[in-house]
Structures are given as C-alpha cells and as structure tokens.
Amino acid sequence: MSTSWSAWVGAAVGGVAVFLLSCWLTAWVRRYALRAQLLDVPNERSSHSAPTPRGGGVAIVVSTLLATVALAALGWMDLRLALGLGVGGALVALLGFIDDKRGLSARVRFAGHLLAAIGAVALLAPLPPLEAFWTPVHLGWLALPLAVIYVVWSVNLFNFMDGIDGIAAMEGISVAAGGALIWALLPGASGWMVGLVFAASIAGFLVFNFPPASIFMGDAGSGFLGFFIGVMTLWAATQEPQLLWSWLILSACFLVDATTTLLRRVKRGESFHVAHRNHAYQYASRRHGSHKAVTLAVLAINLLWLFPWALAVGLRWIDGALGAACAMLPVVALVYRYKAGDRKAQGAG
C-alpha cells in the first residue's frame, strides 16, 4: 500500500473530528431553522409531506472549509486545490443560502456557479490529456471550457437530485470516500485525504437527514457538494489521469439520472430549470412508497457495482472509457426502467 500508516491515522483522527463537528453544527442549524421558521413546506412538486427545517447543508460547508484550511496549513493539501475548493465552494454555498432564505433568479445563480467554476479550473490548469481506449486524447484549448461546464453541471445536478431523504448525502459520501480510497492506493498519492474528511462532514449531517429526515440540506449544501465533487474529480485527474474515469463512475447514479432527465425534458420542450418530480429516483420513491428503500438502493449500487469498476479503472486493470461504459450502461437501463424525465409515463407533474 502506497499511503503510510501515519497518513491513515491522521485521516482517521481528522475524519472523526470533522464528523463530530458536523453533527453538532447540524443540530444547531436545525434549532435555528425551527426558530426562524426556515422550513420546506410541501407542495405539489415535493416528495415530503410535512414542513421540515432546511439549510442543514451549512454544517457540511463550515466543517469542510475548516478542515480544508487545516489540511492546507499542515501541508497535506495543495494550496491551489484549497483555494479552488474554499473560495469557489464558499461562493456556491452563499448563493444557495440566499436562495434558500429569499430566492434568487436562475440567471444570478448560474452566473455565480460559472464564476466559481472558472476560478477553480484556472487554478487546476493545465489539465492532462484525456485517456480513452488506451489512447491519450489531447483536447487543447477545449479542455478548460469543458472542465468548467462539467463543474457547473455537477453543482446543478446535485441540486436536482436532492429530492428525497438522505440520497444526496449518501451519494456524496459514496463518491468522496470511494474516490479518496482508490486514490490513496496509488504510488505517491497526495490530496486524497480531503476526500475522506469531506465524506466525514457529510456523514455528520446524514445522522439527521437519514430517512425520515429531521432537516434538509438546502441549496447551500447540495450546490456545495456538487462543486466539491466536480473540482475533486478534475484535481484527481491532474494527479492520475485515469482517476477522472473512476470519479465519474462513482458519480454514475446522479450523472445518468440527472442528464437523462434533462435531455428528455428539453426534447419535449419543457423548461429544464423549473422544479419537477420526474427524475427516476423520485418516481421510484413514489412507486415503492419509500425514501429509505431508494436511498439504500443507490448506496448498494454504488458499493457493489460502481466501486469495483472504479477501483479496476483506478488501478489500471481496465481502460477508463471502457470501464465507464461497462459500469454505466446498466445504470442507464435502470433510469429508463424508472422513466427518467418522462412526465407522461410517470403520471406525475
């Protein structure tokens, strides 16, 4: 194993500390939200039935940013990555918090997300060639705008997919922890530790968000999760190019459902930015009558199917593009089975 025992011990101690901090902050935010009546009131687009405090994602943001500062100060994290995640993540979270409290236009949110993504990608440049089917693909100047688009999409897809209890938190933990563990197994690995402490911060929130949730993440948290995972995917690729595919494979449940739903809605002439309940996971929760069952099913897919493929790609046992295709095709079939983006077939608004 390439990573030293001292690094594993440091990650474990830091992870426990961040987990406890996130738990405490989530409980505090929940009390504040109840006093301030910062509640998510059910409507015809909702997947919950009772008013529930929101904004709990602030706990994830604060605990992760504090951990990022600590890791950078200890020299366990590249300063460019710390700046990209810290400054950009704080901007995305701030926009989400304002949107949670009083609402923001889609244009303002998009502009902010774009600015955060551009800043982070600029700090990560230059990006390595894309490895596909055992061949390096040099994208040239296209690499940077494509990377920006990916980060912006990651921010928004987590917002879209944060619609039932525990699912966004469970996905965030699976991707961040899985990606970090694969990364840590590689020779000369560095930067993986931030993924584990990020997963720990989400786990602290999940204690209160696991079905039935007593607090919701809100746009501040979901946007921050998407931004963090998008940037970490690109950063991992700058260190080990095949890790780009590993992180994409780990994110497949959200990437495939959100992208399929978006494309099918746009094809039908529906507004892609208007709230709806037409994602595959939302239809599955209605069909099976359980948030918990769907959230745990996503966890099972992540652990039992996607992680082994991501590991095989990360260790170069299989080509990244080929591994991603093999891993994602069954997920594509699953979201079509649950009629992703097909409002008429789902019989939902």
Which helix (H) or strand (E) covers residue 39, if one does?
strand 39-40
Arithmetic mean of pLDDT, 315-325: 97
pLDDT in tens, 245-296: 999 999 999 999 999 999 998 888 777 667 788 999 999 999 999 999 999 9
Q: What pLDDT does residue 8 have?
A: 79
Domain ranges of the chain: 5-247
Measured at the alpha carbon of residue 292, what is the angle toward residues 287 and 298, in degrees to the nearest 5?
85
Strand partners, 40: 52
Does the pLDDT of residue 58 top 60, yes or no? yes
pLDDT in tens, 88-98: 999 999 999 99
- Helix locations, the chain, DSSP H: 5-36, 57-73, 79-102, 106-124, 143-161, 167-184, 193-209, 218-239, 243-250, 252-267, 280-288, 291-300, 307-314, 320-337, 343-346
